[in-house]
Structure 1
Amino acid sequence: MGSVNAYETSEGKRYRVRYRDPDRKSREKGGFVRKRDAEDYLASITVSTLRGEYVNPQTAKSTIADLGAEWISNQTHLKPSSYRSQESAWRVHVEPMWGARRVGEISHSDVKNWVTKLTPGRSATVVIRAYGVLAAILDVAVMDRRLTTNPARGVKLPRKSKKQRNYLTAAQVELLAAQAGPNTTLVYFMAYTGLRWGEVTGIRLRALDALRRRVFIAENAVAVGSQIIVGTPKTHEARSVPYPKFLSEAIARQCEGKGRDGLLFGDGVRHQPQSNSHGGWFANAVARAQEVDPDFPMITPHDLRHTAASLAISAGANVKAVQRMLGHASAAMTLDTYADLFEDDLNDVSDRMDAARTQSVVGFSWELAASE
């Protein structure tokens, strides 16, 4: 497969390894002081080639900046908001630290130390996202045979703490809606359908089926920077979502003066922007609700989605129905997300089993008595 040859230098005898790579190109590496070292190197090249693990030493010299720029440009499959997050992580955290480094020079310890230094003062989400970008770039390097293994894999990452969810009761929804002014119908709609903000503000009149009280969710309007980008729902799957009968009249009023392509909420032309967390209409409605009810929780518009899940489960909806309403990828995801809401089901199952046994025992006793 190759050969080891001696040659003379000003510093004495040295050894050179010549071999052909898997693409049949001639390669060589010199500078070995001992013949044994040269032979060991040739043996390692032979084994890695036979295993399909050969790495071209020249390609291992590529920098993270070279590979990262190409990786970012290939993330066209991501939704705009996700792409923005990845690009920001690359630009702010990964490129400044790793851009000039050659992929073949990065060790597991290097990545581990970087994650350790990055963690203090930053959320777990920021750290995990930045690490994920670097690890993904190195994954590509492995697939391109620039590396044999990814030195980033196996690094321990900070754990995300579970965010506290606030679930409004039906009475609290009424209170909040009463404080929302012209956005009363929007509050009701979100609290009783579980739609995401981008989904509800992306509804066009043509998506409504008033007879069946259904809305077809096929668009998602997401704010990316100062722009509203319209795309598909989060899971890329369109779905039909029911809304309760009491909303029919209010929705009909929302439709007045708008064409079939008009937006249901807002002026019908421009997508309604999300309320500012400080001083926006939603925050003000919450503040007014808290003046009436001191126990009213501090919530965001997204908590109305959680509220919808809670109200549906309390009403006896099964997990599959809740999954379809919320647009989750699977029922397992719904269970994982709202496991706390299904805890009462355990008691219900136990009570039902107890009732079934009681009925069975009574029947058995009657049969036993009749046979005597």
Structure 2
Amino acid sequence: MGDIRHSDVQSWISKLSAEKGATTVLRAYGVLAGILDVAVKDRRLGSNPARGVNLPRKMKKKHAYLSPGQISELAEASGDRALLVLVLSYTGIRWGEAAGLRVRDVDLSRRRINVTENAVEVGGRIEVGTPKSHKKRSVPFPNSLTRPLQQAVGGKDPADLVFPGADGDYMRRTRVSSGSRSWFKSALSTADVPAMTIHDLRHTAASLAVSAGANVKAIQRMFGHASAAMTLDVYSDLFDDDLDDVATRLDHMLSVTNVVKMWSDSTRKQDQTPADHFV
């Protein structure tokens, strides 16, 4: 490790960037930098040669949003996974959170889903843990989903999974079997909606929440973001229309003031013709 120079790391990053995407490069760099940080703490190195190198910028991907009508078509095309698609689209919970959702976490009377567990597939194995933010949260769901959720949990024990896989255990990734087309891609094609990932349904939920009038703090709590600033950073494009709304509201307040009336009177006098003064 003592032979690694800052220029070596920069050269490696530059070469890797020419072959891989920014996300892959940043992850690889993070592993190297983390190892060297430990070496510095153990006093094996005086400083970390990986720190301060020029890194590729990760371009922000444009989110895909579905309309309620498109969600309905996608749900119908998803067959027995229709309720899963609706829950993901209208609550914004992650795939792993839906996979780990248990009967006891569904509060039908309050119309809440309590997100307490996350089950994701890593290297072919299901890793079960806490949600991504490591914090439990309560997410509202539309009343229209109460009956289908009631049917989904009916007759099950509190510890049973709401959306189990074919074998009764945790759901796996959307691919049905090796070499076959995923059920989600097939549903997208059948419903004739834009190409997207199943995680994009979370973005759709955010757009629907904003359209319904939810404020930034409400969306932050709903999605489990660390801060409202993070919510705004991720979904800043959804709040563009709010600026127009602010301008409209401000105009309403300004229009009833004496200042605007004064300008209106002044304009009216300037528009008068000479003949008007003799009337």
Classify the TM-score, shorter chain: 0.7 to 0.9
Aligned partner of 2:191 among 280, 284, 289: 289
Q: 1:255 touches 1:264 (CA, 8 Å); kept in 2?
A: yes
Give 1:193's aligned amino acid: T
Question: Would you say 1:321 and 2:218 are equivalent positions?
Answer: yes
CA distance in 2, matches of 1:104, 1:279: 48
Q: 1:222 touches 1:228 (CA, 8 Å); kept in 2?
A: yes
Q: 2:254 touches 2:260 (CA, 8 Å); kept in 1?
A: no
Match of 2:23 in 1: 125
Give 1:156's aligned amino acid: N
Question: Would you say 1:351 and 2:248 are equivalent positions?
Answer: yes
Question: Would you say 1:275 and 2:171 are equivalent positions?
Answer: no
Question: Would you say 1:266 and 2:164 are equivalent positions?
Answer: yes
What aligned pairs does 1:31-180 form with structure 2 within 5 A after superposition?
103-180=1-78
Q: Give TM-score, length-normalised by structure 2.
A: 0.88
Q: 1:190 touches 1:304 (CA, 8 Å); kept in 2?
A: yes
Match of 1:58 in 2: none
Give 1:190's aligned amino acid: L
Query: What SS is found at the alignment partner of 1:195?
Result: coil
CA distance in 2, matches of 1:317, 1:362: 34
What aligned pairs does 1:147-296 form with structure 2 within 5 A after superposition?
147-266=45-164, 269-276=168-175, 279-290=181-192, 296=193
How far off is 1:363 after superposition? Answer: 10
Aligned partner of 2:228 among 313, 324, 331: 331
Question: Would you say 1:298 and 2:195 are equivalent positions?
Answer: yes
Q: 1:139 touches 1:150 (CA, 8 Å); kept in 2?
A: yes
Of 312-321 and 153-162, more deviation after overlay is shown by 153-162
CA root-mean-square deviation: 1.8
How far off is 1:120 after superposition? Answer: 1.8
Q: 1:118 touches 1:127 (CA, 8 Å); kept in 2?
A: yes
Q: 1:124 touches 1:160 (CA, 8 Å); kept in 2?
A: yes
Give 1:200's aligned amino acid: A
CA distance in 1, matches of 2:135, 2:162: 21
Query: What SS is found at the alignment partner of 2:138?
Result: strand
CA distance in 1, matches of 2:17, 2:126: 32
Query: What SS is found at the alignment partner of 1:104?
Result: coil
Unaligned runs of 5+ in 1: 1-102, 291-295, 366-372
CA distance in 1, matches of 2:162, 2:58: 36
Bigger Cα Rg: 1
**Relative contact order (alpha carbons < 8 A, sep ≥ 6): 1 or 2 greater?**
2
CA distance in 2, matches of 1:217, 1:270: 18
How far off is 1:311 after superposition? Answer: 0.3
Unaligned runs of 5+ in 2: 263-279
Q: 1:198 touches 1:222 (CA, 8 Å); kept in 2?
A: yes
Q: 1:216 touches 1:239 (CA, 8 Å); kept in 2?
A: yes
Q: Give TM-score, length-normalised by structure 1.
A: 0.66
How far off is 1:322 after superposition? Answer: 0.6
Give 2:170's aligned amino acid: H
Q: 1:262 touches 1:269 (CA, 8 Å); kept in 2?
A: no
CA distance in 1, matches of 2:89, 2:144: 13
How far off is 1:364 after superposition? Answer: 7.4
How far off is 1:148 after superposition? Answer: 2.4
Instruction: Report Cα offsets for 1:234-286 as digits up to 9, x if no partner.
Output: 01000011100000110011112311111111369411222129612111111
CA distance in 1, matches of 2:95, 2:123: 16
Give 1:161's aligned amino acid: M
